[in-house]
Chain A
Amino acid sequence: MTDLSEETGPYFGEFGGRFIPEALIPALDEIEETWRKSQVDPAFTDELLTLQRSYIGRPSLLTEATRFAEHCGGARVFLKREDLNHTGSHKINNALAQALLAKRMGKTRLIAETGAGQHGVATATAAALLDMSCVVYMGEEDTQRQALNVARMRLLGATVNAVTNGTRTLKDAMNEAMRDWVANVDDTHYVIGTVAGPHPFPAMVRSFQNVIGVEAREQIQDMAGRLPDAVCACVGGGSNAMGLFAAFLGDADVKIFGFEAGGEGVDSGHHAARFSGGRPGVLHGSATYILQDADGQTQASHSVSAGLDYPSVGPEHSHLHVTGRVTYEPVVDEEAMEAMRLLSRTEGIIPAIESAHALAGAMRIGRELGPDAVLLVNLSGRGDKDMTTAAKWFDYIDEGAVQV
C-alpha cells in the first residue's frame, strides 16, 4: 500500500475523480497547474507564510485541557486551537491560500458556498484583504440559523445569496455556486471550503490545511514528550480533520478518529453520518460516501451544527474509512451540546458546535484508552456564532428578553 500521507489525487483508492461538466475541466486543469507550481515557488510560499504569521495568527496554540480531561477518563487532552485564528476557525487557512492562487490566475472575483458561515466569512475576509469581489451562497435555512455570520460577510463587503431551492442547506449552496462558476469562470475562482468537490480541490485544500497537523505534531511532542495515542476531529466535508490527520497517517501507533454528526441518532434517519448511514456514489464532483435513497437521490442530512450538516464527505475520508486507517463514529446532537457546555465550564473555552462533536468523541475515546493516554483534539472553531442555538438549547435567554 502506498503511504497514505502521500496521496495527491485525482483518486484516493476508488474515490475522488472529476465528475463534473466538461465546461469546467479547463478551469480545474488551470487550478491544478497553478497550485502545483505555487507549492515550489518561494514567492508564493513566503507570501502565505507571512500572512499566516502576521494576519491569521499562526502558529495556533496547543492548550492542555486538564479540567476537561477529567471527563475523558483522566487521559491527557491537548486542544489544537484553530478557534484562535483570525475569523475564528480553520477555514481561513484555506480561503486565504486559494485567494492568493486566484490572484495568480488573474481572477478578480471569488465565490464560495458556506454552511455555518465560517468559510463564507473567511472567503469574504480574504477578498477584502486582497481587493477582490466576493459572492457567498448560503442555504436559506442556514442564513436564518447563522444570521450573525451573514451580517459579518456583508460588513466585509461580500454579497450573500440565500439559496431557496432543494433542502436550502449547504449542498444546495454548493450546487448554486457551481452554476455561478460555470457561467463566470473567466474572471471567477470558486473557493471550495472543504476537502470535497472535483480534483484538485480535495488534495489542494488538504495541502492548505496541513499546517494544522504539522504544527500540532511538533507542539505535542514538546509538551507531552511523545506522539499522541489518539487524534480526534469532527468531519463535515472534512477539511479540519484532513489538515490534522495528514501529519499522523504514517504513524502506525497513532489511532485516528473522525466524528460525524449523528444528529438525532443514525436510526432516526435525521443525521449526517455518511459512513454509518450512507454508501458510495457520486456527488459534487467526486466519488465518495453519500447519504442517498435507493435510486441515488441525495437525502437531506440533519445536524444541530450547520457546518456538519452535509450529505457527502471528502473522498480521501472515504478512502481512509475503507482502508481502516481512520475510524469514523457518529456523535449525536445531545452529546455534542453537552461537550460544548462542559468545555465552556471546565476550561473557559466556548467551542463551535462542530468542534464540540470532536470533544464529545474525545470523551468517549479517553474513557476507552484510560488515564495513561494522550489525546490530541482539533478545536476547529470558536462558538460565538452558535450562541443563538446554544441559548435556545440550554434555555439561557430570559423569557421576554430582547437584544437591542
Chain B
Amino acid sequence: MTHSGPRTGTTLDAVAEAGRKAALIAYLPVGFPTVAGSTEAMVELVRNGVDIIEVGLPYSDPGMDGPVIQRAGEAALDNGVHTSDVFTAVEAIAEAGGTAVVMSYWNLVLQYGVDSFARDLASAGGGGIVTPDLIPDEAGPWLAASEKHDLDRIFLAAPSSTPERLARIVEHSSGFVYAASTMGVTGVRSEVDNHARGLVARLKEAGAERACVGLGVSNREQAAEVAEYADGVIVGSALVRALDSEGVAGVGRLAAELAEGCA
C-alpha cells in the first residue's frame, strides 16, 4: 500500500467550504513544448489559482481530442516524451501544493502495467486517473489497483448516457465524475452546450457527490456560467493554446482569469 497525494474529493470539498462557486481544473499535456516546459507551466497554474491539474499523457491515437490537443500531443511525442515523464510533472505539482491527476488513453496505462502505473502515480503524489476511453464495464484491473493504491477513478459521463449508465458510472467513480458538456471532442467552443446543466443534475440524481464539467470552456464568462451548477470547471484546449502562443506567463494569466470566474 502506497500513500497517494491529495484526493480530488478533498480538494473539491475544501473549495466549497471556502465559499467559492466551483473549483478550477486545468489540463495540460506533459512534454509540450518539453517535459521541463510543461512542468513549469503546470506549477504556474497552481500559483494562479488552479485547484486540480489533469496531466495529459500524449498518445499516438487521441480519438477524443480536437486539433489543439492533437497537435500539442504530436509535438510532445516528436520531442520524445515517455509515459514515465508524467510522474515528474505530478511530483512537481504536488510539491507546489496542487492536486494532480493523470488523464490518459487506456493503452498507455495498460502497457506500463495497471498496478505499476497506480503504484508509481501514488508515490509521485498523484490523486487519480481520468480515463476518457475506459468505461467502468472494462475497468476490472483498474478498479482493483485504484483501491489498493488509494487513487480516484474519474470516469466520464455524456449527455447521451442513459439513467442506467449514469448509475453505473457514479457507482464506480470516486472523487468526481467528469461530465462531458457536449457530444464531441475537446476544443474551444463559443458557447458551452446547455446539455451540461442537465447532465450535472442527472448525475446528482444518480447519487454523484461531485460533478465537474469539461469540453469547451475557454474564458472567464463561460467558467462563471458553468461554476453556477458544477463542482468544478475543467479547461483544456484554451490553456494549451495560451501556452503555445504566450508561453508560461500567458497560461498563468488565463488561469487567473478563469479562477476569477470560479470564485
A: residues with CB less than 8 A from B are 17-27, 165-166, 171-172, 175, 178-179, 182-183, 185-186, 281-285, 290, 292, 294-298
Beyond A23-B158, A26-B165, whether A282 also contacts B61 by CB under 8 A is no
**Docked CA distance A166–B106 (Å):** 18
Closest to B67 in A: A165
Q: Is the CB of A22 within 8 A of B59?
A: no
Q: Is the CB of B111 within 8 A of A19?
A: no
Contacts of A182 in B (CB 8 A): 64, 183-185
Interface string of B147-171 (1 = CB under 8 A from A): 0000000011111111001000100
**Docked CA distance A298–B108 (Å):** 10
**Docked CA distance A229–B73 (Å):** 49
Q: Is the CB of B133 within 8 A of A19?
A: yes
Contacts of A18 in B (CB 8 A): 135, 137-138
Beyond A21-B156, A23-B160, A185-B160, whether A298 also contacts B60 by CB under 8 A is yes
Q: Is the CB of A296 within 8 A of B108?
A: yes
Closest to A280 in B: B110
Contacts of B184 in A (CB 8 A): 179, 182-183
- Most B CB contacts (10 A, CB to CB) among A21, A22, A185, A283 go to A22
Q: Is the CB of A295 within 8 A of B61?
A: no
**Docked CA distance A237–B68 (Å):** 29
**Docked CA distance A185–B184 (Å):** 9
**Docked CA distance A96–B63 (Å):** 26
Q: Answer whether residue B62 sits at the interface, using C-beta atoms and an 8 A cutoff.
A: yes
Contacts of A290 in B (CB 8 A): 107
**Docked CA distance A116–B74 (Å):** 25
Min CB distance, A78 to chain B, in Å? Answer: 39
* Residue from the list A23, A27, A179, A281 in contact with B180, Cβ < 8 A: A23
Q: Is the CB of A284 within 8 A of B61?
A: yes
**Docked CA distance A269–B162 (Å):** 45
A-B contact list, 13 entries, CB within 8 Å: A17-B138, A18-B137, A19-B106, A21-B133, A22-B155, A22-B165, A166-B60, A166-B61, A171-B61, A175-B61, A183-B184, A295-B83, A296-B83
**Docked CA distance A27–B165 (Å):** 13
Interface string of B178-195 (1 = CB under 8 A from A): 001001110000000000
Min CB distance, B55 to chain A, in Å? Answer: 15
Q: Answer whether residue B82 sits at the interface, using C-beta atoms and an 8 A cutoff.
A: yes
Beyond the given A22-B169, A22-B180, please list 7 additional residue pairs across the A-B interface where CB-CB is below 8 A: A18-B135, A19-B134, A22-B157, A24-B160, A165-B70, A290-B107, A294-B111
* Residue from the list A165, A185, A296 in contact with B183, Cβ < 8 A: A185
Q: Is the CB of B107 within 8 A of A292?
A: yes
**Docked CA distance A296–B107 (Å):** 6
**Docked CA distance A27–B70 (Å):** 25
Min CB distance, B65 to chain A, in Å? Answer: 8
Closest to A20 in B: B133
**Docked CA distance A297–B111 (Å):** 9
Q: Answer whether residue B77 sits at the interface, using C-beta atoms and an 8 A cutoff.
A: yes
* Chain B interface mostly: loop
Q: Answer whether residue B132 sits at the interface, using C-beta atoms and an 8 A cutoff.
A: yes
- Most B CB contacts (10 A, CB to CB) among A20, A24, A295 go to A295
Contacts of B110 in A (CB 8 A): 281-282, 296
Q: Is the CB of A283 within 8 A of B61?
A: yes
**Docked CA distance A18–B136 (Å):** 10
Contacts of B62 in A (CB 8 A): 175
**Docked CA distance A127–B87 (Å):** 48
* Residue from the list A27, A282, A285 in contact with B160, Cβ < 8 A: A27
Contacts of A27 in B (CB 8 A): 160
**Docked CA distance A362–B64 (Å):** 41
**Docked CA distance A292–B107 (Å):** 10
**Docked CA distance A294–B169 (Å):** 31
Min CB distance, B248 to chain A, in Å? Answer: 26
**Docked CA distance A220–B162 (Å):** 48
Closest to B215 in A: A23
**Docked CA distance A165–B62 (Å):** 11
Interface residues of B in 39-88 (CB under 8 A from A): 59-64, 66-67, 70-71, 74, 77, 82-83
Q: Is the CB of A296 within 8 A of B63?
A: no
Contacts of B160 in A (CB 8 A): 23-27, 185
**Docked CA distance A285–B105 (Å):** 11
Q: Is the CB of B135 within 8 A of A22?
A: yes
Contacts of B156 in A (CB 8 A): 21-23
Q: Is the CB of A166 within 8 A of B183?
A: no
Q: Is the CB of B138 within 8 A of A295?
A: no
Min CB distance, A259 to chain B, in Å? Answer: 25
Closest to A184 in B: B183
Contacts of B132 in A (CB 8 A): 21
Contacts of B111 in A (CB 8 A): 281, 292, 294-296
Q: What are the 4 tightest A-B residue pairs by CB atom distance, in nearest-first order? A: A296-B111, A23-B158, A183-B184, A298-B60
**Docked CA distance A182–B112 (Å):** 28
Min CB distance, B256 to chain A, in Å? Answer: 31
Min CB distance, B117 to chain A, in Å? Answer: 11
Contacts of A17 in B (CB 8 A): 138
Min CB distance, A250 to chain B, in Å? Answer: 29
**Docked CA distance A176–B138 (Å):** 23
Min CB distance, B156 to chain A, in Å? Answer: 5
Q: Is the CB of B135 within 8 A of A25?
A: yes
* Residue from the list B77, B82, B159, B165 in contact with A25, Cβ < 8 A: B165
Contacts of A22 in B (CB 8 A): 135, 155-158, 161, 165, 169, 180
Interface string of B187-206 (1 = CB under 8 A from A): 00000000000000000000
- Most A CB contacts (10 A, CB to CB) among B74, B134, B183 go to B183
